[in-house]
Amino acid sequence: MNWNNFISKQKIYIIIALVIIIILLAVFGTLKFFNKPVFQINQLPKLIVQESQEINLMEGKSAIELGLEATRQWHPDAELSYVLSADAGQLTGRSNNWQLIYISPSNKEKGFKVIITDAKISATQEISYVGSAAEFNPNIISQTEALSRLRAMPGMASAKILKTGMIYDTATKSWFWGFETDKATVTVKAEK
Interval 124-180: pLDDT, tens: 999 998 888 888 777 888 888 888 899 999 999 988 888 888 888 888 888 898 888
Q: What is the pLDDT of residue 134?
A: 85
For the chain, give every domain's residue range.
Answer: 3-41, 57-189
pTM of the entire structure? Answer: 0.62
HSE at residue 133, side-chain half, CA atoms within 13 A, is 25
Q: Which residue has the higher pLDDT, 55 or 9?
A: 9
Residue 188: left if φ>0, alpha if ψ -120 to 50, beta else—which one?
beta
**Beta bridge partners of residue 164, listed in sequence order:** 179
Interval 56-109: pLDDT, tens: 677 788 888 899 888 989 999 999 998 888 665 555 667 788 899 999 888 888
Q: What is the pLDDT of residue 165?
A: 85
Q: What is the pLDDT of residue 87?
A: 63
Q: What is the pLDDT of residue 35?
A: 46
